[in-house]
C-alpha cells in the first residue's frame, strides 16, 4: 500500500513545532513576508499581524515513507482504539456523539482534518486554504485571518456530512495533530493570557479579581518582534499560571464549556467516535506531516517554505517553569481534565507531576 512510497519530487516538509518556530507550507511563488493573523476565528477585533521571516527549506534528495514510520502510526492508531475501548468511549450515546464542529473536509483532495488549536493549526489552516484554491497572493493580502478565510470555503460540517465522507467509497485520509496536553495548555496560556492578548483581556481581569487569594498576578510577557505589544491590553498585570489553572479547573467542575485553545482534544475531535487514519503529533510533526502530505497526494499543491515566527523560548523548554508552580491538587485536577488526552496519545507527565510533589 503506502509503504515505501518512493518520492521523486521530494519535499522535506518541516512542520512547525512549539511556539518558537512555525514551519509553514507556502507556495513556490511566495516572496517576502507573510502576515500571520490571530489564530482563532473570534479574532476579527484583534488581528495580531506577525511579520515572520521566510526561508526556503533545503530538501533531501529523496525521501521515503519508511516502514518504521508506518509502524509507528499504526501502533498509535491501535493504542487509541484500545484506550477508547477500555473506557467505553467507542460507543456513542444520546449525549455522547461525534463532534464535527472543528473539522475541515476537503472532498476534492480526500482530506479530513480535525483542527486542534495550539497544535500546528496555523500551518494547516494555511495548507487547507491553498487546497481550497486561494492563491498565495490572496492569502498574503487578505484582511481576514487564515481561519476566517478557511471557513468561507470549509463550512463547519454536520455529523452527517462527516459520516458521509468517511463512509464514501473513496476513503479520505483523516487526521488530527495531538500535542502534549500540559504543554499545549502552557502554550495557550502564554499566547492568550500572558501575552496580554486583547481578546482575552476581559477574561484575564475576571480571573485576577476572582482569584485574588492566589496572589496579585504576574507581569505580562512581551514577546520580542511581535506587533502584539502595541495593540495588547495596556494593563501590565495578568493572571499567574496557577490562577489561570484554578479558573480552568473550576469552570470545568461547573461543567462549563472551555475555550477551544485548552479544551481537551478528546472532547472536540472525539477520536473514539471518528475513524482517524493518522494521529500526528506536534513532537514528531516533520515525519508525520510528510506522511499526510504524500499519502494524500497533495505535495504538488503544497510546496514547502519555512516561516520562522520567532518568539520567546519554545514552550517545551519552559513548560516546567509554569507547571512546577502548581499545587499538587491543581496538578491532580489537570491530570483528570486531560486524562484521556494523556492516555490516548501516550504522553508522559511524570516530570511535571514530580516537581509539584517535591
Ligand atoms: C527561495 O527559492 C526561490 C526559487 O529557487 C528563490 O527565487 C528565492 O530567492 C529563495 N528565497 C529565499 C528567501 O532564499
Ligand atoms: C456506511 O456504509 C455502510 C455500508 O455501506 C452502511 O451500512 C452504514 O449505514 C453507513 N454509515 C453511515 C453513517 O452512513
Ligand atoms: C528565527 O529567527 C530568529 C530571529 O530572527 C533567529 O534568532 C532564529 O535563529 C531563527 N530560527 C531559525 C530556525 O532559523
Ligand atoms: C517521577 O517520580 C517517579 C517516582 O519517584 C520516578 O519513578 C520517575 O522516574 C520520575 N520521573 C521523572 C521524569 O523524573
Per-residue pLDDT of the chain (358 residues; tens, 9 = 90+): 443 343 333 333 333 232 223 333 332 222 222 233 333 333 333 333 344 445 545 444 445 678 888 999 999 999 999 999 999 999 999 989 999 999 999 999 999 999 998 787 888 888 899 999 998 888 888 888 888 999 999 999 999 999 999 988 888 999 999 999 999 999 999 989 998 888 999 999 999 999 999 999 998 887 554 455 455 545 589 999 999 999 999 999 999 999 999 999 999 999 999 999 999 998 888 788 888 888 888 877 876 554 445 455 677 788 999 999 999 999 999 999 999 999 999 999 999 999 999 7
The β-bridge partners of 36 are 50
Ligand 3 lined by 21 (C-beta under 6 Å): yes
The rounded Å distance from CA 352 to ligand 4 centre is 9
The rounded Å distance from CA 133 to ligand 1 centre is 23
Q: Distance (Å, rounded) from C-alpha 26 to C-alpha 163?
A: 31
Ligand 4 lined by 350 (C-beta under 6 Å): yes
Please name which ligand lies nearest the alpha carbon of 31: 1
The rounded Å distance from CA 166 to ligand 2 centre is 9
Q: Is 25 exposed, middle or buried (0-12, 13-18, 19+ CB in 10 A)?
A: buried
Measured torsion, CA atoms of residues 209, 210, 212, 213, in degrees rounded to the nearest 10: 170
Question: Ligand 3 atom 9: the closest Cα is on which residue?
Answer: 310
Ligand 3 lined by 308 (C-beta under 6 Å): yes
Q: Distance (Å, rounded) from C-alpha 224 to C-alpha 221?
A: 9
Q: Distance (Å, rounded) from C-alpha 47 to C-alpha 235?
A: 19
Who's near 237: CB < 8 A, 6+ residues apart?
Answer: 208, 216, 217, 218, 219, 220
Ligand 3 lined by 203 (C-beta under 6 Å): no
Three-class secondary structure of residue 78 per DSSP: helix
- Which residue out of 167, 169, 170, 273 has the highest number of ligand 2 atoms within 8 Å of its CB and is therefore the one to mutate? 167
Ligand 1 lined by 56 (C-beta under 6 Å): yes
Tell me the Ramachandran region of residue 168: left when phi exceeds 0, alpha when psi lies from -120 to 50, beta otherwise: beta
Q: pTM, whole model, 2 decimals?
A: 0.77
Q: Distance (Å, rounded) from C-alpha 312 to C-alpha 320?
A: 15
> Which residue spans within 242-301 are E strands per DSSP?
278-281
Q: Distance (Å, rounded) from C-alpha 350 to C-alpha 202?
A: 34
Please tell me the total number of residues recorded for the chain in this structure: 358
The rounded Å distance from CA 297 to ligand 1 centre is 24
Question: Ligand 4 atom 13: the closest Cα is on which residue?
Answer: 351
Ordered strands of the 34-36 beta sheet: 22-24, 305-308, 50-56, 34-36
Amino acid at each position: 500500500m503506502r509503504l515505501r512510497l518512493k518520492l521523486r519530487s521530494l519535499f522535506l516538509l518541516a512542520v512547525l513545532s512549539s511556539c518558537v518556530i512555525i514551519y509553514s507550507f507556502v507556495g513556490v511563488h511566495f516572496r517576502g513576508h507573510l502576515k500571520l493573523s490571530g489564530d482563532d476565528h473570534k479574532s476579527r477585533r484583534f488581528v495580531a499581524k506577525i511579520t515572520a521571516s521566510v526561508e526556503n527549506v533545503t530538501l533531501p534528495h529523496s525521501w521515503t515513507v519508511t516502514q518504521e514510520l508506518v509502524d509507528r502510526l499504526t501502533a498509535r492508531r491501535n493504542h487509541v482504539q484500545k484506550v477508547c475501548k477500555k473506557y467505553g468511549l467507542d460507543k456513542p450515546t444520546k449525549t455522547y456523539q461525534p463532534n464535527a464542529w472543528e473539522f475541515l473536509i476537503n472532498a476534492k483532495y480526500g482530506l479530513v482534518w480535525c483542527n486542534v488549536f495550539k497544535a500546528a493549526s496555523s500551518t494547516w489552516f494555511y495548507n487547507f486554504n491553498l487546497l481550497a484554491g486561494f492563491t498565495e497572493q490572496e492569502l498574503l493580502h487578505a484582511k481576514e485571518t487564515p481561519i476566517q478565510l478557511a471557513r468561507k470555503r470549509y463550512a463547519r460540517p454536520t455529523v452527517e456530512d462527516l459520516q458521509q465522507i468517511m463512509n464514501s467509497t473513496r476513503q479520505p485520509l483523516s487526521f488530527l495533530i495531538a500535542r502534549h496536553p500540559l504543554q499545549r495548555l502552557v502554550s495557550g496560556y502564554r499566547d492568550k493570557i500572558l501575552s496580554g492578548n486583547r481578546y482575552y483581556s476581559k477574561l484575564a481581569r475576571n480571573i485576577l479579581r476572582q482569584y485574588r487569594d492566589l496572589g496579585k498576578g504576574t507581569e505580562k510577557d512581551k514577546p520580542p518582534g511581535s506587533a502584539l505589544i502595541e495593540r495588547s491590553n495596556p494593563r501590565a498585570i495578568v493572571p499567574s499560571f496557577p490562577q489561570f489553572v484554578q479558573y480552568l479547573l473550576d469552570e470545568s467542575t461547573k461543567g462549563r464549556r472551555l475555550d477551544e485553545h485548552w479544551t481537551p482534544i478528546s472532547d472536540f475531535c472525539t477520536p473514539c467516535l471518528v475513524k482517524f487514519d493518522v494521529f500526528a503529533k506536534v513532537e514528531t510533526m516533520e515525519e508525520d506531516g510528510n506522511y499526510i502530505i504524500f499519502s494524500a497526494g497533495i505535495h504538488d499543491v503544497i510546496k514547502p517554505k519555512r516561516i520562522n515566527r520567532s518568539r520567546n523560548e519554545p514552550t517545551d523548554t519552559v513548560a516546567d517553569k509554569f507547571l512546577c508552580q502548581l499545587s499538587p491538587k491543581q496538578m491532580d485536577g489537570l491530570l483528570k481534565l486531560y486524562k484521556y488526552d494523556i492516555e490516548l496519545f501516550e504522553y508522559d507527565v511524570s516530570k511535571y507531576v514530580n516537581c509539584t510533589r517535591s
